Structure 1
Amino acid sequence: MAIEKVRRHLAQWHVEHKIQELEESSATVELAAQALGCEPERIAKSLSFLVNDGAILIVAAGDAKIDNAKYKAVFGTKAKMLSKDDVETMIGHDVGGVCPFGVNEGVAIYLDESLKRFTTVFPACGSSNSAIEVTISELETYAPYKEWIDVCKGWNE
């Protein structure tokens, strides 16, 4: 189970006990915000894309949307989300539980600037009813990310 992979991953920092397993679904930004009692924009959604035959994750604020021009400027290609069928195989988590913790080897993780305006955010933890509240600094520590990027729109307008 993917949530167990996330527990093992977060155990390196002794924070696995902070994972919240929710009674209701947190599979979408709206459902997660409702279940956690927070603003939707504070949900750190993990978006899965295909770049050069490999999977990447972009972790962005719940109210941010991919800006195709910015994406192409960073990655040199058009944004192509992974199909639902490919997400679990390529990332290591099912749709609804995708997060930047405990992903498959070779998945490049990027953090979007849209997250930096918050003190804490809530990424999923490998299942469609789990999350963890982390500071931006903790997110940087726990997620093996490559770099901060600016590929989203809609959040700062």
Structure 2
Amino acid sequence: MSAQSVIAFLAAKAPDLAVIDQGASTATVIEAAAALGVEPARIAKTLSLRAGDRVVLVCARGDARLNNGKAKAALGAKPRMLGADEVEAITGHPVGGVCPFGLATPLPVYCDISLRAFETVFPAAGSRTASVEITPDRLAALTGADWIDICTLPDAGEPC
């Protein structure tokens, strides 16, 4: 599934967006930034979280950190990261390629306000070598995401 489901999702809902396959690992924020030639902050990492009995996806800028207090307040329970096997089983995407497109299981998607600092961002596209360039607002619109404020920037510990 994975990359193919993302390609099918984008073909149906956003045919103007092209999947960028680097042919090299984009599995981490640093690798993706290097492969795409952008600053790490512009990588839109997708976090797979369990908050209480719900699994949710949160897209945030690459250099942001999840703030547990803010996340608990926004999501209603303390979040915890899912394990790699659970992530792939639920999303259909391998860790390093997780994105909010073409999911195996419908999930609530949230976009952290940290993404709004950029004109375009680069979420993964279902594989460890693929990405897509998209505006943050379009990312939220295509995935039905709600905007939330649950991250902190690493620089000064200031909210995103």
TM-score by length of 2: 0.91
Shift of 1:72: 0.8
Structure 2 unpaired stretches of 5+: none
Shift of 1:28: 0.3
What is the CA–CA distance in structure 1 between the aligned matches of 2:52 and 2:73, rounded to whole Å?
Answer: 15
Aligned counterpart, 2:41: 41
What is the CA–CA distance in structure 1 between the aligned matches of 2:103 and 2:144, rounded to whole Å?
Answer: 9
Q: Is the 8 A contact 1:42 1:118 kept in 2?
A: yes
Cα–Cα, structure 1 residues 53 and 90, in superposed 2: closer, same or farther, change >3 Å?
Answer: farther
Q: How does 1:3-22 map to 2 (within 5 A)?
A: 3-12=3-12, 13-15=14-16, 18-22=18-22
**Which deviates more from structure 2 when the two are superposed, residues 135-144 or residues 44-53?**
135-144
SS at match of 1:44: strand
What is the CA–CA distance in structure 2 between the aligned matches of 1:92 and 1:149, rounded to whole Å?
Answer: 24
**Which deviates more from structure 2 when the two are superposed, residues 132-141 or residues 29-38?**
132-141
Aligned counterpart, 1:144: 144
Q: How does 1:31-70 map to 2 (within 5 A)?
A: 31-70=31-70
Cα–Cα, structure 1 residues 81 and 5, in superposed 2: closer, same or farther, change >3 Å?
Answer: same
What is the CA–CA distance in structure 2 between the aligned matches of 1:106 and 1:134, rounded to whole Å?
Answer: 21
Q: Cα RMSD (Å) of the superposition?
A: 1.4
SS at match of 1:120: coil
SS at match of 2:48: strand
Q: Is the 8 A contact 1:87 1:95 kept in 2?
A: yes
Q: Is the 8 A contact 2:110 2:148 kept in 1?
A: yes
Runs (4+) of structure 1 exceeding 4 A deviation are none
Cα–Cα, structure 1 residues 46 and 109, in superposed 2: closer, same or farther, change >3 Å?
Answer: same
SS at match of 1:48: strand
Aligned counterpart, 1:26: 26
C-alpha distance after superposition, 1:89-117 (max 9, x if no partner): 11221100000101133311000000011
What is the CA–CA distance in structure 2 between the aligned matches of 1:74 and 1:137, rounded to whole Å?
Answer: 20
What is the CA–CA distance in structure 2 between the aligned matches of 1:114 and 1:100, rounded to whole Å?
Answer: 17
Q: Is the 8 A contact 2:87 2:95 kept in 1?
A: yes
TM-score by length of 1: 0.93
What is the CA–CA distance in structure 2 between the aligned matches of 1:7 and 1:126, rounded to whole Å?
Answer: 9
Structure 1 unpaired stretches of 5+: none
What is the CA–CA distance in structure 2 between the aligned matches of 1:14 and 1:106, rounded to whole Å?
Answer: 21
What is the CA–CA distance in structure 2 between the aligned matches of 1:111 and 1:45, rounded to whole Å?
Answer: 10
What is the CA–CA distance in structure 2 between the aligned matches of 1:150 and 1:140, rounded to whole Å?
Answer: 14
SS at match of 1:80: strand
C-alpha distance after superposition, 1:14-62 (max 9, x if no partner): 135x110112100000000000000000000000001233321000000
